[in-house]
Structure 1
Amino acid sequence: MFTNYTFTVVEKFMRYVQVDTQSDPASAAAPTTEKQKNLGSVLAEELKAMGLADAHMDEYGYVYATIPSNITKQVPVICFCSHVDTAPDCSGTHVKPILHKQYNGADIVLPDDATQVISVKDYPYLQQHIGQDIITASGLTLLGADDKSGVAEIMDMANYLLQHPEVKHGEIKILFTPDEEVGKGTAHVNLKKLGAEFAYTLDGGELGTFEDETFSADAAKITVNGVIAHPGYAKDKLVNALKIAGEILAALPAGEFSPETTSGREGFVHPVAIGGIAEKATIDFIVRDFTTANLVKHEARLKGIVEEVLKKHPRATMTFEVHEQYRNMKEVLINHPQVGAYAEEAYQRAGLQVTKEPIRGGTDGSRLSFMGLPCPNVFTGMQAIHSKHEWIGVRDMHKAVEVLVHLAQVWAEK
């Protein structure tokens, strides 16, 4: 089926990663950075050039397009979705992608910073790419495979279907979102305009992985109110909120309850930011678990730890606020088993074994599922994301394109 097809995914990916699209968690704008639209406009124009007449980018940086059905029977409209932004964790400015032809199995020293080494010891998945082409950055930036690999794979899928009208499929929607990395990827999405019934995000890792379960997530904020006094005359008067905040952090369990001590299906509580002055200090936490009901237990435990610390400082007060962030997509997808079953069929047609695993994080699919668009996650091949060691295998990218084409066929057949 793909024997004589010249994949365009690598060429597209190498171009897309050179466009700086880093999002900004501190920004209240939509999108959080205007530069994300630079790639969005490129994608909209390329989709138009392919022949998708309705392709456009809206004011918020979302790109929408439709691949029309080429069959007469009615089948559900499906959507393929990826995000254009890269993480704030590591620079995405002046990315220089490097195509390593026929990788030889050795550690890779990145040319622009010889201290940055992608080693087989740290990334054993490299061993599955010996003799294959892989792509890295140059050592000064992340690569941007999260999630421009997904973007490029969807674009190549569209290219393939438009070049091969003999491949039968229903109507397919394409959606590219901004701001996923800062938790705002669905903040301004127009699902009515999108018009899809089911969706798949392309935002996963190793070849063959399929994810239909994410963390459920809350944010918790602790505000400690101390008692301020002039430091020269502070004896028996000053209660320093910053010191109390430090005691709270020191009181957190050392061997569990944290991301650095948990794995698999274990949840955690994680301090992500601290700020303030002697009079008033805040600590921001994220709370994660695969079982939504456990979030309340984690939050109660955290609040209990804080209250124990505050007992030593009776003149201090605190507030404890919790906000919902996203929920485990499994709670929705369990009611739509065909979404996963059709994906598994597509993987098998591409010659892949399906590896199901929960995501110790979230995707746009988490929110989309609870907004009424059931949406699991398909692999892209991305590795070592959010870092200067980020890399991806060309074989994995080609296989992702194949899976999407097969998935379009399976929905049309079933």
Structure 2
Amino acid sequence: MIEKQHIIDRFKSYVTIDTESDPNSNTTPSTQKQWDLANKLVEELKQIGMEDVTIDDNAYIMATLPSNVSHPVPVIGFISHFDTSPDFTGANVNPQIIENYDGKDIVLNKEQDIVLSPEYFEDLLLYKGQTLITTDGTTLLGADDKAGITEIISAMEYLINHPEIKHGKIRVGFTPDEEIGRGAHKFDVEKFGAEWAYTMDGSQVGELEYENFNAAGAVVTVKGKIVHPGYAKGKMINSMYIATDYINSLPRLETPEHTEGREGFFHLHNIQGTVDETKIQYIIRDHDREHFEARKEMLEELANDINEQHQREAVTVEIKDQYYNMREKIRPMMHIVKIAKKAIEEVGIEPIMKPIRGGTDGSQLSFMGLPCPNIFAGGHNFHGRFEYVPVESMIKATEVIVKIAELTAQDISKFKSEEE
């Protein structure tokens, strides 16, 4: 049985360390403070009895739990990231423990009148009677993805302490900078040496995902012409007005707040402008590869149309692909999803199979030769002050990891019998 207080204490020890990543940095990890938790994790992995514990110059951590069976078993892995999102501060996290949640409003911060309410966040009602860990309303929590790290280390510790549970060789990996799209960029798949792995980076208890967005980022630069406003007639060109035309020309309902499921979007997430120059930053997302390519083309064509209208190169667009839909790489070996699904069912949870409206390290790793479905870590409302995680969900995720290890050491041919 996974001990509840042990999970709470381990999780709190991670989230109180600031590991916010920085998209404007060119180093790996992108922030020096990520080393604080990385080094702690290395020591903890050694303390619980893991072998081959390594950390490289970019803070990628790997460790091994050796097989305790004599027959051949596929080497599998479990992966999580230790950075937190730059969308909201991760400094001075002060986790709050809500025992036996009663289904009512939770006052996170009385002075600032910050309330976590089931009227707005209906998922809270799924966890009545459970123990929730929340923020104090002034920071994010960091369950994304320190819950995943908590679960992986706790599962490895449990397997070490219970050698009667038979398993093959297991590799674990912890990465920096996932929140800024670089978590897998310097991950050594060959060194990791697993046939497949699972990222513990999902949300609601029961989630199992092997589809994600195709993703790209775009920087749109609009050039104007600054002239003294008192003498500007016929001379000034205000880049911010042109930028506004560009923004308003994209489909208004194809944005995150108007889409769900497999629907893609354009997400305007940053504008910096002066009369002389405005920069607009978008992320582009779509599960369908053809639609994804069409979205990128739309950004380019819109720039061309505006340039033709102004008879000069007023708008330029730079687009960089970030990751692709891992479904393409996982469908040929669906037994790895079936094993996880069976594990979730065996710990008493109904699996929730749906596409990820985002990405994980696993989406990139799948294209690097390490097929990597995503499993729930339990948190909700990531990247903001209303983030929370039920402790019982972390316990169940830990049990799922243990069960996957156990199932993989058995005859997995039954999971391959109807390979898709």
Tell me the TM-score normalized by structure 2. Answer: 0.93
Give CA-to-partner distance per residue, 1:266-307, whole Å, 9 cap, x none. Answer: 111122223354344332221110011111211223333334
Q: 2:24 is matched with which residue: 23, 26, 40?
A: 26
Measured in 1, the distance between the counterparts of 2:243 and 2:172 equals: 46
- 2:208·2:375 contact (CA, 8 Å) conserved in 1? yes
Tell me by how many angstroms 1:113 deviates: 4.3
Where do 1:6-405 residues align within 5 Å?
Answer: 6-7=3-4, 8-111=6-109, 113-229=111-227, 231=229, 233-254=231-252, 256-405=253-402
CA distance in 1, matches of 2:8, 2:327: 32
Per-residue CA distance 1:217-267 (angstroms, 9 max, x = gap): 12223233334555554432333323211221233333x222122111111
Contact 2:299 2:317 (C-alpha < 8 Å) held by counterparts:
no
For the 8 Å contact 1:216–1:289, the answer to whether it is kept is yes
- SS of the equivalent of 1:110 reads strand
Q: What are structure 2's unaligned runs of at least 5 residues?
A: 413-420
Q: Which amino acid aligns with 1:283?
A: I
More displaced 10-residue stretch of structure 1: 228-237 or 145-154: 228-237
Aligned alpha-carbon RMSD (Å): 1.7
User: Residue 173 of structure 2: SS of its match in structure 1?
Assistant: strand
CA contact 1:226–1:316 (8 Å) conserved in 2: no
CA contact (8 A) 1:113 1:138 kept: no
Query: Would the alpha carbon gap of residues 6 and 225 (structure 1) be closer, same or farther in structure 2, given more than 3 Å must change?
Result: closer
Q: Secondary structure at the match of 2:407?
A: helix
SS in 1 for 2:337: helix
Tell me if the contact between 2:51 and 2:66 (Cα under 8 Å) persists in the aligned partners.
Answer: no
CA contact (8 A) 2:21 2:30 kept: yes
Letter in 2 for 1:152: T
Give yes or no for contact 1:186–1:364 (8 Å, CA) kept in 2: yes
Long gaps (5+) in structure 1: none
1:225–1:317 contact (8 Å) kept in structure 2:
yes
- Partner AA of 2:353 in structure 1: K
Change (3 A) 1:36 1:116: same
Deviations 1:176-228 (A, max 9, x none): 11111111111221222211110100011111111110000122232333345
Give the secondary structure class of the aligned counterpart of 1:298. Answer: helix
Q: Taking structure 1 as the reference length, what is the TM-score of the superposition?
A: 0.94
Residues 314 and 329 from structure 1, CA distance in 2 versus in 1: closer, same or farther, beyond 3 angstroms?
A: same
In structure 2, distance between residues paired with 1:408 and 1:22:
31
| Residues matched between the structures, number | 410
> Percent identity, aligned pairs only?
43
For 2:304 and 2:313, how far apart are their aligned partners in 1?
11
* Cα deviations by residue, 1:157-188 (Å, 9 ceiling, x for unpaired): 01100000010000000101111111111122
Whole-Å separation in 2 of the counterparts to 1:298 and 1:21: 33
Alignment partners' CA distance in 2, 1:63 and 1:156: 16
**Residues 258 and 269 in structure 1, CA contact (< 8 A), matched pair in contact too:** yes
